[in-house]
Chains A and B, each alone.
Chain A
Amino acid sequence: MLGPASKLALFRPTICLVSHMSVYPKNYIDPIFKKDQQEALKTSGEHLKIAHIPIKAARNNDTVSVFHDDVISKFTNYIMRKGDKLLARDLLDKSFEQIKRVQLEKYNTAKTEEEKAKIQTNPKEILHQAIENSRPLLQLTPIKRGGVTYQVPVPITINRSNFMAMKWIIEAANEKERTIHFPQKLAWELLDAASNQGRVVKRKQDLHKQCEANRAYAHYRWS
């Protein structure tokens, strides 16, 4: 017995069941908005290849400003709540200012040149270092086997670990007294994490310890 529906099914083309969420079709490419990258394309002749490919519109934080930094822009987005990017940017800028003030005062009071050379006063570098220091290597995933949920250590990608590091830093900065402002606390957390101490680094190590304790379940993993 072969119903009309199943007959039709024979000739149905294969359809991708995962819906494509972007407003752009898949053949659109990301915009290249940085001047040096554009120059690099021009010198290598790559730009001729993409000359006729449709390009997505640049996002509003894609800027040619010499002060633009991808990590900072990402971090701003993670700080942002309810789409208030102006506030998020302001908060991060203020905490950079705080970091600079703290470090510059240390720098100015340092006596010898060697001591001065050791003090990192660049807030951008400090942010990068802090994220680098608080990136976890693994995470615990609950996996149900035989009615029991095991916390299984699973390796994670670099993107995921970057995200977790930034999230932890922001969460740590949010845990504060009401009288202390977010930028101030964020500055402290960043400085701590950059010197490989503080709550965020501790949290990472705790996670690693837990993973180590649960290493016996590692073979339950799947993906």
Chain B
Amino acid sequence: MLIRQLKQFPRALSHFSTVAEPAQVKLEHFRTNESTVSSQGSQHIGRFYRIPLEERKQLFTHGGLPKSFEKQAKTFGEVCVMVREPAVEIIDYIKSSDLSRPVNRFVLHGDDGCGKSLTLAHVLHYGLQNEFVLVHVPWVPNWFKRPKETANSSTHEGFIDLPFDSAAWLIHFKTQNANLLPKLNLKTTKDYVWSKRETTPAGSTLLELIEHGINRVKFASDAITALLSELKQHSTDGKCKVMVGIDGYNAFFHDKTRILTENKAKVTPDKVTLTKPFLDITNYDWTNGVCILAVDRIALTEERMESSLPRYQLGKEGFEHCDPFIPIKVENYSEEEFENCIAYYLDRRWIQNVTEGFDNELKHLSAKNPYNLMSVCAPL
């Protein structure tokens, strides 16, 4: 059935298209040209839109898209994201919310492979296009499960620093906000004394603060603390608006990490210096911002994977920290989304062995789960 649709579609379109719009002629029914996220609406749900190369580079060079999706994008030769209900819903809420009020927290939850990370990526794209300062953590468990290096914090007694990961995050922050930071020209409000000889005086730009963190890896964690508190201050003052997007947020509230101290004891997340600033910025005590937090089953360890609901994932402490929040559930594909996805895969030649009833079989094999569908189609 789908094949027939595909075959007929270009012909059907050519009846209505005019000569003046050659780009429109080739557009299949499962695609949309609307790459401005703010003008995407419910009529675009289920369609794929292409993220332009420039914006992709700026947003996701240092992570942000799931690994398997990156691979897919490389094979397909383009980065296409499906416009889906949760993302449209969040963007709608952001557009209609009064930013002068305390920040809204959105908690994305859903089963494995439903598209939480891609929804977050979609919203971040909106943030980029609408001049939000992006505070984006691609995957929190990376810090707690496989840190590059650990060191005892020099400023906080009994805390653990992740110098390299912190510096990497600062670079990520810098590339994501490369266009915005010089334009906003935000200044530090107070002096930061790193050591006897190194200080960042009040009135220097945030970029200098970031550069310092990158160059002096030892102080990267403290630089993040400073940067986030400055950002909070500035946005409350109305100088900028901030979008916080954290994937695997529940890892902050897990009862353990894989980081070991010198006595080979496991460290809890709250003993890592990076935890505090990110918990601070997801608090409700500031304005002119928005937080999108994705909680994920895989962010925790095996014994905490029973449910994907926020209360279970965040635990009591985390739930109370986020309360009140707006829960957004990311679901499996709907019927229409599934068909569009199959059509897209056919177009990209990801599915090639096509016989009568293959889409029906794929539907039952994958249970319409986006990730499952992708992997089930892999050998076809």
B-binding residues in A (CB < 8 A): 65-67, 92-94, 96-97, 100-101, 104-105, 107-109, 121-124
Q: Is B353 an interface residue (CB 8 A)?
A: yes
A-side contacts of B352, CB under 8 Å: 100, 121-124
Q: How far is the CB of A125 from chain B (nearest CB, A)?
A: 8
Bitwise, B343-380 to A at CB < 8 A (1) or not (0) is 00000111011011110010000000000000000111
Which residue of chain A lies nearest to B77 when distances are taken between CB atoms in the complex? A108
Chain B interface residue number, banded = 10 to 19
> In the complex, A92→B380 CA distance in Å?
11
B-side contacts of A67, CB under 8 Å: 353, 355, 358, 361, 380
> In the complex, A94→B353 CA distance in Å?
16
A-side contacts of B353, CB under 8 Å: 67, 122, 124
Interface centre among B74, B356, B378 (most CB of A within 10 A): B378
Instruction: Please state if A66 and B358 are interface contacts (CB–CB under 8 Å).
Output: yes
A interface: dominant SS? helix
B interface: dominant SS? loop
**Smallest CB-CB A-B distances: 6 pairs:** A96-B379, A93-B379, A108-B77, A97-B378, A66-B355, A122-B352
Instruction: Please state if B361 and A66 are interface contacts (CB–CB under 8 Å).
Output: yes
- Whether A108 contacts B76 in the complex (CB less than 8 A), given A100-B350, A122-B352, comes out as yes
> In the complex, A134→B356 CA distance in Å?
31
B-side contacts of A96, CB under 8 Å: 378-380
Q: How far is the CB of A184 from chain B (nearest CB, A)?
A: 14
Instruction: Please state if A107 and B379 are interface contacts (CB–CB under 8 Å).
Output: no
Partner of A105, one of B77, B350, B356, B361: B77
> In the complex, A123→B75 CA distance in Å?
15
> In the complex, A121→B74 CA distance in Å?
16
A-binding residues in B (CB < 8 A): 71, 74-77, 348-350, 352-353, 355-358, 361, 378-380
Instruction: Please state if A105 and B379 are interface contacts (CB–CB under 8 Å).
Output: no
Q: How far is the CB of A128 from chain B (nearest CB, A)?
A: 12
Partner of B379, one of A66, A97, A109, A121: A97
Q: How far is the CB of A11 from chain B (nearest CB, A)?
A: 60
Which residue of chain B lies nearest to A66 when distances are taken between CB atoms in the complex? B355
A-side contacts of B350, CB under 8 Å: 100, 104
- Whether A107 contacts B378 in the complex (CB less than 8 A), given A66-B355, A66-B358, A67-B361, comes out as no
Instruction: Please state if A107 and B349 are interface contacts (CB–CB under 8 Å).
Output: yes
Q: How far is the CB of A50 from chain B (nearest CB, A)?
A: 25
A-side contacts of B74, CB under 8 Å: 105
> In the complex, A92→B75 CA distance in Å?
19
